[in-house]
Amino acid sequence: MQQDTLLQIAKDFGSPIYVYDAHKIESQYQRLTKAFQDVNQLKIHYAAKALTNLSVLKFVAKLGAALDTVSVQEVQLGLRAGFSPDQIIYTPNGVSLKEIETVAELVVQINIDSLDLLEQFGTKHPKTPVCIRINPHVMAGGNTNISVGHIDSKFGISIHQMPLLLRIVENTGMTINGLHMHTGSDILDIDVFLYASEILFETAKKFKDLTFIDFGSGFKVPYKTNDIETNIEELGEKLSHRFQQFCDNYGRELTLAFEPGKFLVSQSGYFLTKVNAIKQTTSTVFAQVDSGFNHLIRPMLYGAQHHIENISNPEGKERFYSVVGYICETDTFANNRRINEISEGDILAFHNAGAYCFMMASNYNSRYRPAEVLWYQGQAHLIRNRETLDDLLHNQVVVEL
């Protein structure tokens, strides 16, 4: 998006504010579907947890996407956004049998990643088709916070537990109609992903009633200039050929599924903040903004780097700043970052703020969560109001003691 457009949005709607470029979401979706255009049956499940605003959900549904959910609430939001039950897959972790049964009653595809829950559900509901999440013990990226395929991960059923898994399926008489894996975020090495895929293909041979195989996602997007990213085109070419080869050997066409979240919406997002003050110490110049990790926690939680622009002074001389927030904690967005000269009142734009940013916001320090805007066809659409004191008080029950 153009800097003057972002500045106008900050002027019209205030700050801090999240802005999403619908056209970028659309281009990412088209890029992914084009990369796998040689697959006869392709299904893209948008990972709702990345950004669940109803307007965004409606937009990705309009593009033709299905939906990946991790909670009964996300399922309900998906249904409210217009997705039909057969377009939704539910992939929870650590939930109760009761929640899984609640979702199953909505006729949504169930994906189970626990032997215990698989046996319980299969015993009570053997006629309900189930997908199984496999842990292939393949590490994506190098960060255990975002890699979920390693041996100590809480996600998935270990590939080494296959004999017990097959025994449960046989004893309950349940139908397994899908297999799923997700190795984690920031996949860089295509060959590692393909290696994990081969494990899934070998596993799939043991099940005769499959209709789809879900390869997860975790595709890396660039977070800074010259940053590396997942080569989707190369992955599409190699995995498409191997998938069709597998289908030929399996005896019928299956659906190849993915569940991208970050890949679709991350680069569409901008987080706009206003500079409250410039504070200089003996060694550091701080740019203090009207936000904190209550609005954008990824830099503090994951060490994530978001490119920061001073869109109020794009031609200014670069200086070194540490960008920090107004929370009564250490809430550093960037340390000693080169940014065009910053003055009080300037608007800073954080890039790649579309995925897992607003979604992880909180009311810590009793601060309000930001507004959200969707940019589409030259118009800024307000899709979430800025919170007020009434929102903070909404669910509180005051007891006179």
Q: Does 13 reside within a domain?
A: no
Residue type, 287: A
Q: What is the mean pLDDT of residues 35-40?
A: 96
Whether 357 is catalytic is no
Please identify, among 264, 279, 308, the residue that sits at the C-terminal boundary of a domain: 264
Q: Can you give the pTM of this predicted structure?
A: 0.93
DSSP, collapsed to helix, strand or coil, labels residue 374 as strand
Together in a domain, 223 and 89:
yes
What pLDDT was estimated at residue 65? Answer: 98
Total domains, the chain: 2
Alpha-carbon distances of 152 from 157, 158, 162, 385, rounded to whole Å = 11, 10, 17, 41
Please identify, among 264, 293, 323, the residue that sits at the C-terminal boundary of a domain: 264
The answer, yes or no, to whether residue 334 has pLDDT greater than 80, is: yes
Cα 281 from Cα 261, distance rounded (Å): 40
Together in a domain, 238 and 92:
yes
What pLDDT was estimated at residue 233? Answer: 94
Q: Does 251 reside within a domain?
A: yes
Together in a domain, 92 and 218:
yes
Together in a domain, 239 and 321:
no
Q: Does 8 reside within a domain?
A: no
The residues, any chain, with a CB within 8 Å of residue 123's CB and separated by 6 or more, are 172
pLDDT tens, 142-188?
A: 444 444 444 667 889 999 999 999 999 999 999 999 999 987 656 67
Q: Does 93 reside within a domain?
A: yes
The fraction of the chain above a pLDDT of 90, given in percent, is 88
Helix (H) or strand (E) holding 256: strand 255-258
Together in a domain, 318 and 349:
yes
The answer to which of 32-46, 184-198, 318-332 has the lowest mean pLDDT is 184-198
Cα 295 from Cα 364, distance rounded (Å): 9
Q: What is the mean pLDDT of residues 107-114?
A: 97
Helix, strand, coil distribution of the chain in percent, nearest 5: 35, 25, 40
Q: What is the CATH number of the domain that holds 288?
A: 2.40.37.10
Together in a domain, 289 and 259:
no
Together in a domain, 198 and 317:
no
How many beta carbons lie within 10 A of that of residue 135, not counting itself?
24
Q: What is the CATH number of the domain that holds 194?
A: 3.20.20.10
Together in a domain, 223 and 316:
no
Q: Does 15 reside within a domain?
A: no
Among residues 124, 78, 79, which one has the least CA distance to residue 100? 124
Residue type, 186: D
Cα 19 from Cα 6, distance rounded (Å): 8
DSSP, collapsed to helix, strand or coil, labels residue 193 as helix
Q: Does 94 reside within a domain?
A: yes
Together in a domain, 311 and 327:
yes
Q: Does 138 reside within a domain?
A: yes
What pLDDT was estimated at residue 250? Answer: 97
Together in a domain, 344 and 311:
yes
What pLDDT was estimated at residue 217? Answer: 87
Q: What is the mean pLDDT of residues 246-273?
A: 97
Please identify, among 264, 299, 324, the residue that sits at the C-terminal boundary of a domain: 264
Cα 169 from Cα 241, distance rounded (Å): 30
What pLDDT was estimated at residue 148? Answer: 43
Together in a domain, 139 and 228:
yes
Give me the catalytic one of 131, 247, 328, 357. Answer: 328
Residue 308 structural domain: 266-387
Q: What is the mean pLDDT of residues 19-37?
A: 98
Together in a domain, 183 and 173:
yes
Average pLDDT, the chain: 94
Ramachandran assignment for 186, one of left (phi > 0), alpha (psi -120 to 50 degrees), beta (any other) = left
Which residue's structure tokens are 């059923």? 157
Q: Does 139 reside within a domain?
A: yes
